[in-house]
Amino acid sequence: MTALTLDALKTKAASGEIDTVLACAVDMQGRLVGKRFHVSNFLEAGFEETHCCNYLLATDLEMETPDGYAATSWAMGYGDYTMKPDLATLCPVPWLEGTALVLCDFLDHHGHAPVPHSPRQILKAQIERATAMGLTPMMATELEFFLFQNSYDEIRASGYRDLTTLVKYNQDYSIQFTTREEHVMRPVRNALYAMGIPVENTKGEAEIGQEELNIRYGDALEACDRHTLAKHAVKEIAAQHGHAATFLPKWRADKVGSAAHIHQSLFGAEGNVFHDAGAPHSMSQVMRHYVAGLLKYAPDCMLLMAPYINSYKRFVPGTFAPTKTAWSIDNRTAGFRLVGEGTKGVRIECRIPGSDMNPYLACAGQLAAGLAGIEEELDLPDPAQGDLYSMADVAEVPHKLSMATETFRNSAMLRRAFGDAVVDHYTRAAEVEQEDFDRAVTDYEVQRGFERA
């Protein structure tokens, strides 16, 4: 993704073209956190490392510091992490004057070992597993979201009531209606391209005021870095134009939700090892084992794809959100869809994740499950056909956060892949989400269908 080298940054700093560098890490929720450096200090010392409070990997969505994490707490004093810039991610930030950005990894403050429950590190560990097998994971994610007419502050002041989308029509593939959002989406596309992110296109999605952004596939870490920066760009550029963007999976009960589909394949020295021209559906045996692993361990990985209470509101039949974990061929009612049948680009698309996923966690879970399928040489059942929403004999997607949390907690596969400390850390994060919701829900809401558990 490199769009800016350190030497180029020095040149731009000397000319006054860049005066600020954002040193950013990714928190548990997939948000950018970090510091704004004056470029002179970044070039003097910040390019090597900086520091932050270790509570950044132990908060809820509101940045509160709940108890129960083994990695850090009030009792442990909330010490420091080291933030180590990954200079391969250094890039300009076109929508901010004189600004560049670099993604950082969280390291232990004392020994400088990677922090195991850091989202970027969790994914790196699974990539290393694949590399040891002679495989390179390739991925792409889709970003769906809604653009609102009013600003974030205006929406907050209204109590989040009576929200109005920027476009008032279902604009799926519409050129006419998406033109009305071009003052936001054109700068988004151009900014991402200038950052070194190979944006392919934007389009209207299948609900009133909904947009989709697509970025070219790359290696798994690069795909997740691109996703994170793109999501950040959409929010900031929308705000600059007086609008708000939401990646909430289900912002209104009567509206289709937003997804973040994950396309995935494995490459070797000769290209896509998922492709076998002589096999049924051009699926190699490696691919069949991998997809079988995705199916077997879909419940284990559900929490990584749907981490919040709201995530589970999206899984409604007839809304293009999958309710079944089966695989099918080019069928958008399935949790897993075979794409590119008969071509060298054959891949599997996971349609379960919502737009609120942390891409590093969701993609790490997919890799862990798929690689387990290869290691266990799992058999892939025949593809499901037809409308999976109506099939009672097909395994359902877990439909509550509490169900997903317990399965995640008890997953032997993920404990082997991630380690006990990582599984326990994100189990606690899910418990905090449930506890926050339970405190907020009133008896009035419970009587009208809200769920406490």
Please determine, for residue 449, whether its predicted confidence score (pLDDT) is greater than 70.
no
- For 51-84, how does the pLDDT look when each residue is reduced to its tens digit (9 = 90+)? 999 999 999 999 999 999 999 988 888 899 999 9
User: Do residues 258 and 145 make contact, with C-beta atoms less than 8 angstroms apart?
Assistant: yes
Rounded to the nearest integer, the mean pLDDT of the chain is 94
User: Across residues 227-238, what is the average pLDDT?
Assistant: 98
Please determine, for residue 419, whether its predicted confidence score (pLDDT) is greater than 60.
yes
User: Do residues 45 and 76 make contact, with C-beta atoms less than 8 angstroms apart?
Assistant: no
- How does residue 3 score in pLDDT terms, banded at 50, 70 and 90? confident
Please determine, for residue 228, whether its predicted confidence score (pLDDT) is greater than 60.
yes
Cβ neighbour number for residue 334 with a 10 Å cutoff: 27
Give the pair of three-digit tokens for residue 434: 């449930």
Give the alpha-carbon dihedral of 278, 281, 282, 288, to 10 degrees.
Answer: -110
Burial category of 67 from C-beta neighbours within 10 Å (exposed 0-12, middle 13-18, buried 19 and up): exposed
User: Across residues 209-221, what is the average pLDDT?
Assistant: 97
Cα angle 290, 89, 80; round to 5: 95
User: Across residues 410-422, what is the average pLDDT?
Assistant: 98
- How does residue 440 score in pLDDT terms, banded at 50, 70 and 90? confident
CA 355 – CA 250 distance, rounded (Å): 9
Strands 210-215 and 199-204: antiparallel
User: Do residues 185 and 91 make contact, with C-beta atoms less than 8 angstroms apart?
Assistant: no
Q: Give the residue with greater pLDDT, 384 vs 413.
A: 413
- For 138-152, how does the pLDDT look when each residue is reduced to its tens digit (9 = 90+)? 999 999 999 999 999
User: Across residues 161-186, what is the average pLDDT?
Assistant: 92
Give the alpha-carbon dihedral of 89, 99, 28, 418, to 10 degrees.
Answer: 10
Strands 199-204 and 218-219: unpaired
Which residue's entry shows tokens 């076998």?
Answer: 276
- For 256-302, how does the pLDDT look when each residue is reduced to its tens digit (9 = 90+)? 999 999 999 999 999 999 999 999 999 999 999 999 999 999 999 99
Instruction: Give me the pLDDT at residue 453, please.
Output: 43
- For 333-380, how does the pLDDT look when each residue is reduced to its tens digit (9 = 90+)? 899 999 999 999 999 999 999 999 999 999 999 999 999 999 999 999
- For 4-29, how does the pLDDT look when each residue is reduced to its tens digit (9 = 90+)? 999 999 999 999 999 999 999 999 99
User: Across residues 296-317, what is the average pLDDT?
Assistant: 96
Q: Give percent above pLDDT 70 in the chain.
A: 97
User: Across residues 75-104, what is the average pLDDT?
Assistant: 96
Give the pair of three-digit tokens for residue 409: 């907690």
Instruction: Give me the pLDDT at residue 443, please.
Output: 54
Instruction: Give me the pLDDT at residue 331, please.
Output: 84
Please determine, for residue 452, whether its predicted confidence score (pLDDT) is greater than 70.
no
